[in-house]
Structure 1
Amino acid sequence: MKRSTILKLAMVPMVACLLFCSSNNSPTAPPQRSFLFAMRGIPDAEGRFVAVTSNPQLLAVLEGQLALPEAQRNLHINGPVDSGNGGHNLGWSWHFEPGQWELVEISIELCDGRPQNVEDDVDKWIADVGTFCPWASYVAAEL
């Protein structure tokens, strides 16, 4: 085989990798969107918190809930929490892990509570409970 043919054959995988392996060609992740949650029967200052997600399926559910009158929003948040406000859950020293939570109709009682319960012992909620699922919560608005 000629030297020029070998060189051309060797370049094919390199060019293919440059075209298809480059991070510039990968799709960008959708932006995070922030949602304000409120708690039925709890004053705003004690019952409001923020969670973020970019999950398209969850965003569709959130938009569906926001299209309903507030009294008909029957899904509550359920997901793992982490320490720190995450840059979005201001006023609290905890936050829902972005994109790891969901909206559900039913959760076990163990993870039910008020935002202040998590605030009072964040480490316990992270290590022992694992998730926070305040039954009285509902999505109040997109921020």
Structure 2
Amino acid sequence: MFIMYKILTLALLALSMLFSSCGINTSGNINKEVTFEFQTTGDEHFFAQTTDQELIKRVRQQLSLPQSERDLFINGTIARGQEANNGWSWHFISNEWELTEAAIEVCDGRPSMVEQNIDYWVDDVGRFCPYSSFVVREVSSN
């Protein structure tokens, strides 16, 4: 029963990510990629990029709040490679992450935990959702 619950939860998360990343830019403009910095317990920092305009608005709404009131954390698909995630050998796949209030426990952790066992995190878990994370700042808009 527990395995069935995990499979169902992962399937629902995947569908939610699919629908949230299907935003279409009807203005004819190419969406600019924006990089955000996040922080977790132990003062560990990491970065994530997106061109999803709705997600960018949501992250910026969190940034407009005092740090103590930023209650949404990142949850998304990760892959090997540094990309924009300076200092780590993994990254969030652009437009395959979101801000959320809840997630399954198996993807919770710290960036250093992903780094120490990257094969497990990328190949088995497939995503990272550190409950203690919050957005710190907008780093760049390309």
TM-score calculated relative to the size of structure 2: 0.76
Number of the residue aligned with 1:9: none
> Considering only aligned residues, what root-mean-square deviation do their CA atoms show, in Å?
1.2
Number of the residue aligned with 1:108: 104
Q: Deviations over 1:51-83 (max 9, x none)?
A: 000101101100100000000000000001000
Alpha-carbon separation, structure 1, partners of 2:118 and 2:32? 27
Alpha-carbon separation, structure 2, partners of 1:85 and 1:122? 12
Q: Deviations over 1:91-126 (max 9, x none)?
A: 000000011100000011000000011101212111
Number of the residue aligned with 2:21: none
Q: Which runs of 5+ in 1 are unaligned?
A: 1-25
Q: Deviations over 1:2-40 (max 9, x none)?
A: xxxxxxxxxxxxxxxxxxxxxxxx93421100000011x
Determine helix, strand or coil for the equivalent of 1:48: strand
Q: Which runs of 5+ in 2 are unaligned?
A: 1-26
Number of the residue aligned with 1:97: 93
The structure whose Rg is larger is: 1
Number of the residue aligned with 2:50: 53
Alpha-carbon separation, structure 2, partners of 1:119 and 1:95? 10
| Structure number with higher strand proportion | 2
CA shift at 1:48, angstroms? 0.1
Alpha-carbon separation, structure 2, partners of 1:71 and 1:38? 12
Structure 1 stretches of at least 4 aligned residues deviating more than 2 Å after TM superposition? 26-29
CA shift at 1:127, angstroms? 1.2
Q: Percent identical across equivalent pairs?
A: 42
Alpha-carbon separation, structure 2, partners of 1:35 and 1:63? 9
Determine helix, strand or coil for the equivalent of 2:123: helix
